[in-house]
Amino acid sequence: MSNDKLQTATVTSADINDIKLQESLAATAAQPVKITARDVKVFYGDNQAIHGIDLDVYQNEVVAFIGPSGCGKSTFLRCLNRMNDTIDICRVTGEIKLDDRNIYDPTLDVVQLRAQVGMVFQKPNPFPKSIYENIAYGPKLHGLAEKKSDLDDIVESSLRRAGLWNEVKDRLNQPGTGLSGGQQQRLCIARTIAVSPEVILMDEPCSALDPIATSIIEELIDELKQNFTIVIVTHNMQQAARVSDRTAFFHLGNLIEIGATNELFTNPKQKRTEDYITGRYG
């Protein structure tokens, strides 16, 4: 119990820094808050994976989560669209708000939530269907297109925005699994865009890709920022530095530090952040 309190205490002390930073950032970004997380704790059975995290995500910004393996960054990300619901033993407490609405409210429809908060996974996971069907899957589910021509438009615009249209426009009926790894991942991004979410969560989207495919995805993230709020988990600190506006450093289930990306990498406030980004551990 006392241990628990202690941890809460450390987090709060770290938060004091954060709040200052966030205030300064909010002032410059002048964007409304999209996601608010307060005192989020996640348990796998008796194991606590996340020890009370407070964090805000602003509209149309890219936030990167970094940290060593097992630090809880992916777990926390999966809380944001309740993907952890699919794991039986997983339990989430605390409060996460999307546009001032608590997403863990029992009256909230998780299907609606996931349409609003899309997700791109670590390994490209196109359905074993045609490229067209892969994109059309979500819009069909949510009834976004009345006519076939509407659906065609959604498919085309999604593929265009994911920068894949020119590569696949002549083979929309071929299986999505036949594309290269980088193309598959962009297909998955296009699939997510097709349901017009507001937030896109990316769980190490480039970890299975080669450097060229990675750089294409990174450029894509930069463009998507215009229309979407993006939260990205990455193992690669250079990637976080390249694509994100703000970076959050997680360690052992705690949020150690969050701040403007260039500031966090050049001038970390916390000793543990500094140790991690300079390669002392992780």
- Residues lying near other proteins in the complex (CB under 8 A): 81, 83, 86, 88, 111-115, 118-119, 121, 123, 125-129, 137-138, 141-142, 177, 188, 191-192, 195
Q: Of 220, 183, 178, 226, whose CA–CA distance to 202 is shortest? A: 220
For the record, the structure tokens of 233 come out as 């988990």
Q: Which is nearer to other proteins, 49 or 190 (CB)?
A: 190
How far apart (Å, rounded) are the C-alpha atoms in residues 226 and 129? Answer: 30
- Give all strands (DSSP E) within the chain, no chain letters: 33-44, 47-58, 62-66, 90-98, 101-102, 117-120, 199-203, 229-233, 246-251, 254-260
CA gap 124, 112 in Å, rounded: 23
Minimum CB separation of residue 175 from other proteins in Å reads: 10
- CA-CA distance, 168 to 183, in Å (whole number)? 9
Sheet holding 254-260, edge to edge: 117-120, 199-203, 229-233, 62-66, 246-251, 254-260
Minimal CA–CA distance to 55: which of 267, 275, 213, 256? Answer: 256
Least distance to other proteins, CB of residue 178, Å = 11
- In the chain, what's the furthest Cα-to-Cα distance? 63
DSSP secondary structure letter of residue 248: E
Question: Nearest distance from residue 128's CB to other proteins, in Å?
Answer: 5
- Choice between 15 and 204, CB closer to other proteins: 204
State the minimum distance, in angstroms, from the CB of residue 189 to other proteins.
12
Cβ of residue 24: shortest distance to other proteins, in angstroms? 34
Q: How far is the CB of 138 from other proteins (least distance, A)?
A: 4
Pick between residue 205 and residue 268 the one whose CB is nearest to other proteins: 205
Q: End-to-end CA distance of the chain, in Å?
A: 28
